[in-house]
Structure 1
Amino acid sequence: MAANERVPAERRRRRPTGSGVVLSADLIVDTACQLIDAQGAQAFTVRKLGAALGADPSAVYRYFRNTEELFLALADRLIGESMAGFTRSGDWAADLRDLCLRAYRSALRHPQIAVFSTVRVTGRPHEQRAVDTGIGLLLEAGFDEATAVRHYHTLVDTALGHAALDAGFLRLSPGQRTADDQAWRSAYATLPADAYPNIHRVRDQLPLMAGSAVEGALDLLIEALRASR
């Protein structure tokens, strides 16, 4: 039987490896997360995962049909991390902001995984809970069903889009990151006023460009949502 045709029940069986470690889906996801955090998604292989687990690589396929399914589980793990400890304050707008920033920060804790996690739909329990929570907040705020879905889509894609952008920045070398940050303080801040009057006028504020714009973007959107009710 092919790996992608194994029955789901087989994947739930906890089996010890040759080194005595009891495999589980959670352990595999944890170990894959550590490997990708350390080495990057492009360097990840099931062979390396098996070695880190002390198991034959084929054992992974008793729990995940293929690497695609494993990567979706990893993406869902990040969403689960973002939802851990989330509680409603009673202010729907503040709660939406918190929910989106949690997703952003979870992705930034794992920038190598954010390469693929920010652009996938996992269809798994953590994502389902996050979607249900976000849309629920908008429904409670008084938006109709279609508008609630559109607004949630806009908010979460804004947060994840910034996460993908900022994760890309974190994957640069330290020297590249420093050079990019310094460019706002040197190359831009010293441009002549006659050629670049607007840049010259705001030159003292240009270092702000070195930070993430995620909070500002979310604040603008949520302010617009408050005003549209």
Structure 2
Amino acid sequence: MADGLKRLPVHECFHSWQGEGVHLGRSAYFIRLFGCPVHCPWCDSAGTWHPDHVPDEVARQSAVELADQALASGAEFVVVTGGEPAIHDLSLLTEEIAKRGMGRHLETSGAFEIRGDFDWITLSPKWQKLPLEENLAKTSEFKLIVEDEQSIAKWVQELGDYVSKASTVWLHPEWSQRANSAVLESITRWVKEKGDPYRAGYQMHKLFNADVLDPNSRKSAPLGGDEAKGY
């Protein structure tokens, strides 16, 4: 099989807009790949790995097919996400996307070697499997998930200069805690006291139901912070 025709396991592909981070609000084509060994108990894309939510069939598509679909969508750039997309070799996919003149963004936990040429990397570290130092060094923006009042300080201590000297660090309430006043206040206090590079973040696309407006998107399967399901 020709290199460009080697197939990746795909959970869903859809056209929406980026709901988080520096590129918030921009038209984006999302390629959500299947598989994740990290298994966060609050995962909001559990259909990519959790046995209670995995679809009966997992489609496989070539880098050429995926890049053609992205271009045809009219989106400004492509976001490769998961699951954990970096468990796959993404070199051919990024090569094909680049040939079509589109930006190549990655959303990753940073815990696995990144194979592929990306011009933007969003790293959201997870305690279940900490990021590789080589990935911390090339991160474009960090997204820290705030599960409780101690989360921010714990991550800042763990990541050290990589996060304190980053250009942008987003502080996102874990979605099942989005109405928890203690969690929200911890984010507000940190931003007010520390300033840059810290910013309060949110998953804005969920307020708009933006992703579900594309018929190719799948219904989300959030675990909602249930520790018993994070296996």
Same fold per TM (> 0.5)?
A: no
Q: Which has the larger radius of gyration?
A: 1
Structure having the larger proportion of residues in helix: 1
Give TM-score, length-normalised by structure 1. 0.28
Structure having the larger proportion of residues in strand: 2
Give TM-score, length-normalised by structure 2. 0.28
